[in-house]
Amino acid sequence: MVHRRGAPRSHGADGVVHGAWLPRYQRELARGPPGAALAAVLHGTADRGLLRVVPRAVLGGFLDFAIRRTADRRAASSALSPLDLISTVGYDAGVVREAAGPLDRFASLQCAVLLLGGSRSARNLRASLEGLRAVLRHGETVILPGMGHSAPDNGGHPDRVAAELERFLARHPAG
């Protein structure tokens, strides 16, 4: 990431400036086409994978091609298109930013909590899971081998993520 001279460089454990990708994502989304905005997210969240090293312009062009190519495919009536989902990422990032702060404030949680991560996730995400595991008395950690932050996506392994969620929820029903 390019920084202005004198600008602070607040990096996480994996060299990621937390949330720094959000302004680029917003600019790219406003400018269009959506592939560039999605490329900003993929580069900014720093999953350990090949997409991280593909130049942003190349990745954005490929993503736009894929979005156009699949735009007329019929999906289930309850499914959203990638185009619809890309525009929601900024809200997700806002929630993450609002939740920033000392992890010990979660120590008073009395409910069961599933901390689900992947062995290929960025170090800063794994560090967050470790920190939460240290303060949550009722936390259960599951690390999916070979998975990263994008495991729940249709291109990842949503079946493995769903299986862990089902297993956890079966053992801890709402009550």
Q: What is the pLDDT of residues 117-152, one digit of tens each?
A: 988 887 777 888 888 899 998 989 999 998 877 767
CA atoms within 13 A on the CB side of 131: 14
The sign of the dihedral angle between the CA atoms of 46, 50, 53, 55 is negative
Q: Are 148 and 118 in contact (CB under 8 A)?
A: yes
Q: What is the pLDDT of residues 28-37, one digit of tens each?
A: 999 988 999 9
Residue 114, both tokens? 């599933």
Sequential DSSP letters for 130-172: HHHHHH-TTEEEEEETT--TTTTSTTS-HHHHHHHHHHHHHHS
Q: How far is CA 128 from CA 83, 88, 141, in A?
A: 29, 23, 12
Angle, alpha carbons 19-158-49 (nearest 5°): 50
Max mean pLDDT among 7-11, 62-66, 68-72, 127-131 falls in 62-66
Residue 16's CB is within 10 A of a number of other CB atoms, namely 20
In angstroms, the CA 89 to CA 161 distance is: 20
Least Cα distance to 118 among 89, 139, 147 occurs for 147
CA distance 115 to 136: 10
Structure token pair of residue 95: 């929630």
CA-based max dimension of the chain:
54
For the segment 150-170, the average pLDDT, to the nearest whole number, is 84
**What would the DSSP string read from start to end of 33-89?**
-HHHHHHHHHHHHT-SSGGGTS-HHHHHHHHHHHHHHHTTS---TTPPPHHHHHTTH
Question: What's this model's pTM, rounded to 2 decimal places?
Answer: 0.64
Task: Between 106 and 96, name the one with better pLDDT.
Answer: 106
Indicate the range of 45-54, 79-88, 124-133, 134-143 predicted with least confidence.
45-54
